[in-house]
Every structure is written in C-alpha cells, then in structure tokens.
Amino acid sequence: PALTNIPQPPAKPLVGNAFTVDAERMIQSLMELAEEHGPIFQLDMMGTPLIMVSGADLVAEVCDEKRFDKTVRGPLKRLRLIAGDGLFTGDTDDPNWAKAHNILLPSFSQKAMGSYLPMMTDIANQLMLKWERANSDDVIDVPKDMIRLTLDTIGVCGFGYRFNSFYREDFHPFIEALNRTLGTTLNMRGIPGEKLFKGDQIKQLHRDAAYMNNLVDEIIRERRSQGGDGPEDLLDFMLKGRDAVTGERLSDENIRYQINTFLIAGHETTSGLLSFTIYYLLKNRDVLKRAYAEVDAVLGRNIDRAPTLSEIGRLPYIRAILSEALRLWPTAPALGLAPYKDEVIGGKYAIPKGTFTTVLIPSLHRDTSVWGDNPEQFNPDHFTPEAEAARNPAAYKPFGNGQRACIGRQFAIQESILVLGMILQRFDLFDHTDYQLDIKETLSIKPNEFFIKARLRDDVE
Ligand code: HEM
C-alpha cells in the first residue's frame, strides 16, 4: 500500500483496488467498505491512493480549511466541458472563483430569497395542479415530477427561462443534452483521457456541450439587449454585479458557466431530497402525522392562498424532516479534498500533500459515536435546536464545507419547505406498492422507480 497505517481492502496486482468498488453503485459500495474497514480507509487506484474518511473526528480535521482545500478531479473535472470555471468546478485559487463567489453571495442571501418566492410558488402550483387533476388510479412518478419541479424552478429563478417540464412527457432538449453529458462524463470515471470512449460518444458529447452553451449564450445576449429591465433573477445579479474587492464584473463566458452550474448543482440534489423525504414520510406514519399537524396549524386549510415567507419560516418540523432525509441520504454524497502540505490526521494517519481525500457523507451521517446505535432510524428530532447545538458540527455536512459549501442552500431549503408544505396541505399520499428503497446513483443519488398515489384531502377549502 502507498500509505502505511491506513486500512485497505484486499488489492490485486497492478490494478490495485480498481475493481473493489462497484461502478454502478459506487457510493453504496464505498459505504459498505466504510462499514467494514472503519472511519478511514484507502483504495489503490492503479497506483494512485484514494483516501475515504467518514468518522466525525477525522472529518473535522479534513474540513479545517487551513489544512485542506477542495480539489476538482475525476468526473467533476470532466464537467468543466460545460461548467468551466463556474463556482462548482472552479479551483479555490482561481481568481474567477473568488470573484464569482463575491458577486453571487448576495443573490443567494436570505434577503434575496423573498424575491424568488413568487417564481418558486408559480412552479410549485404547476405540480399541485397536476396531482389534483390526476384520476384516483393514476400513478405518480415521484423522482420524475420532482425533477420537473426543481428544474423549472431554477430555470425561472435563475434566468427567466421556462423549461415547461409539466407540459411535456419528455424533458426539454436542453435537459436531455445535460443528462447525456452528465452520464458520459460520469461513466468516464477512472478512465484516463477520452481515448477509450467510442468516437460517436465523444462527438455526441461535444455536440451536446455546444448546444447547451449556445442556448445559454443566446439567453445572455437577449437579456443584455433588454438594457437592464429584465426580471430580478440570478442572471440579473450576474450581469449587474461587481466584485467589491476587485471592482470587476463577470465575463459573459463565465456567466454561461455559472448558469450551467446552477442547472447541474441545483436540480438533481433538491429533487432527490424531496423524493427521499416523501419516501421517509410514507414509511414513518407518526412523523407524517406530526408534519400534517404543523402544516395545518401554520398554512391552514385554504389552498387558494400561497404560503408566505414568514409561514415558511414557521415550519420547523418540516425543516427538521428535510434535514433528517439529508442526513440519511445526502444527495450530493461526497466531498473531494486534498491537503496543502503533508498532513497527519487522527494523530497517526499520514496523508501526503495533494492526496485525494474524500469525505463519504452518508457514512459520516451514520457515525454511531454521534448519531447513536441505530443511525438508520429516521428521526427528525435529531434536528431540534438543542440537539444541533450539542453536536460536533463536522458530523453533518450535506451542504459541504466552509467557503466551498453550497451557495444554494437557502434556495434549496426554501423551495423544499414550500413544496412539501403545499403537498401536505392538499394531499393524502399512498404507498400503494409498499416501495422498497432502491437508490440510483448518478452525480447525485435518488430513489429509483418510486411511485405513489395522491388524493386531494377531504377537508381542503
Ligand atoms: C456546492 C449540496 C442545492 C449550487 C455544493 C456542495 C454540496 C452541495 C455538498 C459542495 C460540493 C463540493 O465540495 O464539491 C447541495 C444539496 C442541495 C443543493 C444537498 C439540495 C438539497 C443547490 C442549489 C444550487 C446549488 C439549489 C443553486 C441554485 C451550488 C453551487 C456550489 C454548490 C454553485 C459550488 C459552491 C462553490 O464552491 O463556490 N452543494 N446543493 N446547490 N452548490 Fe449545492
């Protein structure tokens, strides 16, 4: 092994651990290895060491930003084809990262969220109408409807574009191209360079990238031609904003990369969260009952009136339910880090400068020293203010870490509380297949083939 002292699953000559992990279910495979080998283990990927960390105390050390920085490698690096030096795929020391971070922070602030609420509600209403109008035997494809919802929401709040996913059976061509690109760049995982891919796949990849980049460039051009009178969305912030430190603006190319980034980072993660949450509610009737009681008390029975910002802030149990779903299945399940210089963590594990060190978040979120002996149990009371205050902050990292943490966190939480609140206000939900959780892994994770039925509650007004 390259690194002494750090446990490693049995390796084969030359290839090392290249086949230890099941590529189709990589995260679940790594979780099993963490279960077996403990809070830190290493894999030898054909000579390159990969370190997987999932114990809360060790994670606290690798989340120390003075010692470790985010590193963009593997599938994330290949995503630069469409996400370039945008926030998610940019390096921390790239001047464009700091510039965009400074310009975009205000557009994701708590204050800015109020201006997105009417747009979020507009899209949420489309989902409600669809479910209200379904016949009693119609089956709802939960993950697919949640993708429609989150995609259309980021489209409208991001740059005033309507994908109109609720008005079509398949996805908008942009999304088809995005999904193909994500699939291809992800499956290239572990394969050095593009050479091993078939020529037509590579051609398709570049065709898709060109199509997406052109569509977004066109939106930017159009908005510029409106002379600043467009809607108050993220694009507006990006076109008008100046970096307070350098006084500079973002280039049109960088704005394009940010828009692609928001589409990638913002839709599968939030939709996965909503799908997992509905799954857990259906399997935990006592939690569901408390959720209905809170929604009824705060939002009332009149469904013609949309939830206000203040009401969304007064649904702490709904918020705790979402936090707990993100504990068990953090939909962005891994963080890639590397130390600035040779490091020792846990007092004995040496990690040489630059070594790829991954935080395996679903395993971190099951660390029994923090979450108790039965971490698989769905319990929103993990997120009472008292429980949160008493806990090691490194034990819960669904939105990443430090300055490289998720900029869209408030956005995702507001959207999720709004949508879940509106669903519970309106519908009885039925787990008619007695669904058994099956997880589909792409860049994010979500329930696979999850269908329910919904019926308007008898007592709606
Ligand atoms: C970064 C999770 C929703 C935009 C991240 C990271 C995580 C994460 C773990 C850090 C990634 C890393 O270290 O490599 C989530 C989850 C979400 C969510 C679980 C929903 C439940 C959103 C939304 C947006 C967004 C709605 C945009 C509207 C971003 C961006 C970054 C990021 C731009 C990169 C930030 C930076 O490094 O400057 N997210 N995210 N995310 N997220 Fe999210």
pLDDT tens, residue by residue, 392-451 = 999 999 999 999 999 999 999 999 999 999 999 999 999 999 999 999 998 899 999 999
- The confidence score (pLDDT) of residue 193 equals 46
pLDDT in tens, 235-273: 999 999 999 888 999 999 999 999 999 999 888 999 999
- Which residues surround ligand 1 with Cβ inside 6 Å? 70, 87-88, 101, 154, 261-262, 265-266, 269-270, 273, 330-332, 335-336, 398-400, 404, 406-408, 411-412
Q: How far is the CA of 406 from the centre of ligand 1 (A)?
A: 4
Q: Whose CA is nearest to atom 1 of ligand 1?
A: 406
- The confidence score (pLDDT) of residue 187 equals 73
pLDDT in tens, 126-160: 999 999 999 888 999 999 999 999 999 999 999 99
> Would you place residue 280 in the very low, low, confident or very high pLDDT band (cuts 50, 70, 90)?
very high
> Would you place residue 1 in the very low, low, confident or very high pLDDT band (cuts 50, 70, 90)?
very low
Q: How far is the CA of 188 from the centre of ligand 1 (A)?
A: 22
Distance CA 185, CA 191 (A): 10
pLDDT average, residue stretch 275-289: 98
Q: What is the mean pLDDT of the chain?
A: 93
Q: Whose CA is nearest to atom 20 of ligand 1?
A: 270
- The confidence score (pLDDT) of residue 196 equals 54
Look up the pTM and report it: 0.96
- The confidence score (pLDDT) of residue 194 equals 46
Distance CA 229, CA 225 (A): 9
pLDDT average, residue stretch 358-377: 97
Distance CA 270, CA 146 (A): 8
